Amino acid sequence: MRETFVATTTALLDEDPRTALVLADISADAFEPARRRHPDRVLNVGIREQLMTGVAGGLALTGLRPYLHSYAPFLVDRAYEQIKLDLGHQDAGAVLVSIGASYDGAAEGYTHQSPGDVELLDTLEGWTVHVPGHHDEVAQLLRDAARHDDRVYLRLALQENSRAYPDGGRLRVLKRGGPLVVAVGPMLDPVLEATRDLDVTVAYTNTPRPFDAEGLRALADGEVVLVEPYLSGTSARQVAEALGGRPHRALHLGVGRDEVRRYGSWADHARAHGLDAAGLRTPIMEFLW
């Protein structure tokens, strides 16, 4: 997914004079040819994500469309106050593009993990959040973000599904049956495997914000399971509001609130949090039957 981001953003810099890129050192080498061509629109501020966000806010106020890039914990967690003030309070738009997701950086320890990034952005106004489940979904999301001036967060991960669903902005039904199970981004393949012989409806989205409330109301019939690749319960409010006034039960599965204080790989952490197929199957079956 990261390679797709570099290629697409490089193309946007060449095609669209409004596009700017602000880096916190990460991927600077990959963008060096673009920096030589556009030194006024490709800026590397060093390992200073707070400054990166402030610079992006200023560029946005001049009419540019800034893209910011770093690891998720540095881009969102570390720079949260600047996101709140230099972007949100100023009503300035930008595209935040992260790597690392919840635990891709497990080998580097908790400093490089951010299971709470989407929940943090939920405290702020007006954010669109994309969580692509496949690298072939990334380019179109980046290009769509270049066509407006809203605030967008694109969350890239190592884990991905076996195929792309570029039209995954709204809930897309991939399996029809009984109670609804919603899979966000790279959670689709584990959900499909976990429910392969179960009588459930499986729907997919790569855009959890704004949440597809209309689609959820149309598909949910009393029970819904939501599986997300970040903190469990992150979308509980959105589901409750979408189904307000209807009797319903909801199960929210995601990264656990207890920290896994071991290193390993992203797959090890997925198993530890019950987000592989085997770990998902038991709570889904116990909840629905």
Cα 78 to Cα 23, 84, 136, distances in angstroms: 14, 12, 29
CA distance 240 to 249: 9
User: Span 68-72, mean pLDDT?
Assistant: 96
User: Span 217-246, mean pLDDT?
Assistant: 96
pLDDT in tens, 104-156: 999 999 999 999 999 999 999 999 999 999 999 999 999 999 999 999 999 99
pLDDT in tens, 175-205: 999 999 999 999 999 999 999 999 999 999 9
- Dihedral of CA atoms 131, 93, 40, 136 in degrees, nearest 10, equals 20
Residue 289 pLDDT class (50, 70, 90 cuts): confident
Query: What DSSP string describes the chain?
Result: -HHHHHHHHHHHHHH-TTEEEEESSTTTTTTHHHHHH-TTTEEE--S-HHHHHHHHHHHHHTT-EEEEEEEHIIIIIITHHHIIIIIIITT---EEEEESTTTTTGGG-GGG--TTHHHHHTTSSSEEEE--SSGGGHHHHHHHHTTS-SEEEEE--S---SS--TTTTS-EEEE-SSSEEEEEGGGHHHHHHHTTTS--EEEEES--BS--HHHHHHH-SSEEEEEEEEETTTTHHHHHHHTTTS--EEEEEEE-SS-----S-HHHHHHHTT-SHHHHHHHHHHHH-
CA 34 to chain centre: 26
CA 200 to chain centre: 25
Mean pLDDT score of the chain: 96
CA 63 to chain centre: 26
Spell out the residues 6+ positions from residue 278 whose beta carbon is closer than 8 angstroms to its own. 194, 271
Query: Torsion-angle region of residue 57: left (phi > 0), alpha (psi -120 to 50) or beta?
Result: alpha
- Asked if 201 contacts 177 with a C-beta cutoff of 8 angstroms, the reply is yes
Residue 26 pLDDT class (50, 70, 90 cuts): confident
- Asked if 114 contacts 73 with a C-beta cutoff of 8 angstroms, the reply is yes
Please say if the pLDDT value at position 33 is more than 90.
Answer: yes
Q: How much is the pLDDT for 169?
A: 87
Residue type present at position 234: T
Q: How much is the pLDDT for 253?
A: 98
